[in-house]
Structures are given as C-alpha cells and as structure tokens.
Amino acid sequence: MKHLPRKRFGQHFLTDGGIIDAIVAAIAPHPGDPMVEIGPGLAALTQPLVERLGRLTVIELDRDLAARLRQHGQLQVIESDVLKVDFSQVTQALNATKLRVVGNLPYNISTPILFHLLKYVDVIADQHFMLQKEVIDRMVAAPATSAYGRLSVVLQWRYAMEDVLFVPPESFDPPPRVNSAVVRMLPRQDVAALPLDVFEECVQVAFSQRRKLLRHTLGRWLDARGFSGSFDVQRRAEEVPVQEYVALVQQV
C-alpha cells in the first residue's frame, strides 16, 4: 500500500538513486558500525546502509512507517519522537562506545534535533544529515556574514562541519520548495568544556536583536550576572568569532 507523505511530519521522501549512492559514499558505512538513522521513511537510504552494515537502528515517529520497518529483519526500530530519545541509552543498548548518526531530518524541526543531539555529543562519532541548504549555510557560516548566527556559533564550538553534497528538490517525492544538502559533522576533540545551558543562553541573547550593538542585549545579560571581566559590547553579535563567545562563557 502506497504511503502518503504527511505534512505534519515534514515528510519528503528521497527517490533519486544517484543522490542516494552519493550520500552512502559520503557516510562510508562499514560492517558492524553502530549506526542510528533518524527518519528512515520509505527506507531509500536505510536499505543500502543496512546492506553494508549488517544491522541498523532506526528512529521513526510515523506509526505506519514504523510498522512497515519492523518487517525488515535487519532493523531495530525505535518508534518515537527523536527529541525524546536518549542517545546515551541507545549507545548502551548497542553495546557501543560511540554512535554514527545519519538521516534525512524533517526540515520543520531540524534545528531542535541538532540542539538535542548536542547533549549527547560525547557518545557520537560522526553525523551526516540531509538538511535544508539554507540551514547548512548557517551552520558553517563565517563571522561577519549574514548567515552567521546562533546555529553557527553553538555548533562550530562543538563540531567541525562540512557541506558535502548539494541535493535539488526534484530528488524527492514530494519535492520540497527549497534546495537541500548533506552536512558532515565531526565532534571536536580539543573542545573547551562549557556549561551548555549557559553557552546557549549567552549566544541566544547575543543574537536576539542582531541589528543592535551587543551592549543592548548581551551587555545587560552580563551585568545581570555580575560579570566583571572584559568584553567589547560595542559590536554586533555577528562580528564576534566563536572562540570569543567561548572565552566569555568561561569567565561568566
């Protein structure tokens, strides 16, 4: 029975065989890799992955799709909203130390998923995601550019990221109204330890009014926390490099 894409789940199913092959090549799965796929959908990416891996764990919210996936003998299906999945527990269940995470993320909740996974970065070896091209442009953006923002700063602190593949709308059914791309995310090993909640709050406040100087936003946040260090708030948020935000939170 044909599955009709559900708008509320942001479903766009990948159908282009050439693109699928290119994504699998970018992921480079090896037999036995402990891998988790988010949003497997109709298994366009799932099947070539599991053929190379032997076993694959998938996270699927759509009840009908989850039931269909359970009929596949090589898949372990977690029927859940990915934002409620504890990836540390998944790692333990797979008897692994690090997970490889992949997926064609629902575009309507891609940013919340990225921030959710950030909590589990210590148990993640790498991530490969299909996302809206505009989102990936923001993820990898350099300071002093219009795309540089909260997503850029928080993710670049913790990951080395690379836009590895462009994917046009006609590669999907139904075609989305935007261009897509695949990003590779490798957790940094030499990262500065930070309280994640404070770092995220600091960056969110900084970019809350990005046209204004930081003294109107971050300056007030720092004053409220009794900050007595040195930080130039006579700049806009997009002018501050990632490492300066990191250094600031280390002092707060």
Amino acid type, 27: I
Distance CA 130, CA 102 (A): 8
Strand pairing of 172-173 and 13-14?
Answer: antiparallel
Q: Is 12 annotated as a binding residue?
A: yes
Distance CA 194, CA 185 (A): 19
Q: Which residue has the tokens 């999907």?
A: 172
Residue 50, class by beta-carbon neighbours within 10 Å (0-12 exposed, 13-18 middle, 19+ buried)? Answer: buried
Cα-based torsion angle of the residue sequence 144, 146, 149, 151 in order, rounded to the nearest 10 degrees: -120
Q: Is 103 annotated as a binding residue?
A: no
Q: Is 17 annotated as a binding residue?
A: no
Q: Which residue has the tokens 């590895």?
A: 164
Q: Is 14 annotated as a binding residue?
A: yes
Q: Is 116 annotated as a binding residue?
A: no
| Annotated binding-site residue numbers for S-adenosyl-L-methionine | 12, 14, 39, 60, 81, 104
| Annotated binding-site residue numbers | 12, 14, 39, 60, 81, 104
